[in-house]
Amino acid sequence: MQKIVISFVLVCMSLSLKAQDIHFTMFHVAPTVINPAAAGVFDGNFRAAVNFKTQWGSISNPYNTFSFTGEGALFKDKGKNAHMGVALNTYRDVAGSTKFGTTKVNLSLSGIVYMNDLNTASIGITGGWAQQSMNPGQLQWDSQFTGQGYDPTLSSNETMMFGSESYVDFSAGAMWAYGTAASNLASFDKVRAQIGFAYHHLSRPELESQFGGADRLYSRLAFHADMHYASGYSKLALRPRLTAFFQGPSREINIGMMFRYLVQEGAKYTGNRKGFAISAGGYYRVGDAISPSIEIEYAGFSLGYSYDLNTSGLRAASQGRGGSEIYLKFQNPNPFFRFSRRPSIR
């Protein structure tokens, strides 16, 4: 049994070099992780968000993913028909008891062009540095079992060297956004939509495996679409969302629908009344999980929570408990007011 467990761990670690990148259920909170062309495409000057996701804690040591994204617009006041966007994203993804994980820092730049009052187009590129590492101290070997128990002071008799591996990575993408004029200066947007695609790991970085030869990271094709629809002055809005990733032999498709209700409009000029909205709905990650979700917006802050209910064959072991995800986002100026008639994403 011990040999089987060790073999399974080693195979998982070697396969992880070719596995899918990190993913979030509420993927819209960190848009530049999906597409560098999304940097700076929002109706404001600055926004920042933190995401945290934990998975498979019901089976073993959980997989934890933490991400921070900060982004803003450059030369927005100087250019009437175009400006630039910039975003910094960093994440840490850690798996299992060996803390096998990836740390990555990405810098994204985008060029944003206002085609007219309804349409915006953007292209972007990301340059990043990443490091993979692990802590082999938690591995257990046959030679460390005495017949009566496990003794970590015994030699493993293994000659493999476990070190960190670093690489440089690049991605590129394009995006189109559409938006009709708001019904007024408050939160009654009628229609907003965006669609885009990106190509990640352009150079297919080479990673040296501790359990074989060098492997190249699979390139990843990402497709995403997002929409906000409200009828007239209705306080209820629909927000359908979609992402699809294709990376080597792996694929992931995530479909979502959130129902947003505007509880209270904000007072733009006096600031005495803060805008407040609540959204409820969920996402379906095809073949993997159903994720009920809730989001709360208050003035410039947003808070979201979702829980993955496992639907794959692993549910026999997980009992359907996939894991939690939470995010906190801040945007300035207050996103409850449209400061321009340009199409935007928020």
CA dihedral 178, 183, 184, 187 (to 10 degrees): -70
Average pLDDT score over residue span 54-73: 84
pLDDT at 259: 97
> How far out from the chain centre does Cα 106 lie?
13
Q: Quick check: 1 pLDDT over 50?
A: no
Angle at 175 between CA 172 and CA 176, to 5 degrees: 165
Sign of CA dihedral 337, 51, 89, 28: negative
**Of 199, 126, 131, which is closest to residue 164 (Cα–Cα)?**
131
User: Nearest 5°: phi and psi at 112?
Assistant: -120, 125
Per-residue pLDDT band for 186 (boundaries 50, 70, 90) equals very low
Residue 301: per-residue pLDDT: 95
Reported confidence tier of residue 151, pLDDT bands at 50, 70, 90: confident
Is the full-model pTM beyond 0.85? no
Which range has the top average pLDDT, 163-167, 183-187, 236-240, 338-342? 236-240
pLDDT of residue 35: 96
pLDDT tens column, 302-322 = 999 999 998 887 777 777 778
- Yes or no: say if 259 and 241 are a contact pair by the CB < 8 Å rule: no
Cis peptide before 292 (omega within 30 of 0): no
Q: Which CATH class is domain 14-140+167-332?
A: mainly beta
Residue where the block lists tokens 């493999």 = 160
Hey, which residues does 165 pair with through a beta bridge? Answer: 132
* Across 164-171, average pLDDT: 89
C-alpha separations of 173 from 32, 228, 269 in Å: 10, 22, 38
pLDDT in tens, 96-132: 667 778 899 999 999 999 888 889 999 999 999 998 8
Query: For residue 34, what are the CA distances in angstroms to 67, 174, 179, 250, 297?
Result: 13, 11, 21, 16, 23
Q: Distance between CA 181 and CA 346 in Å, rounded?
A: 15
User: What is the per-residue pLDDT across 32-56, written as a single tens digit (0 to 9) for each?
Assistant: 999 999 999 888 889 999 999 998 7
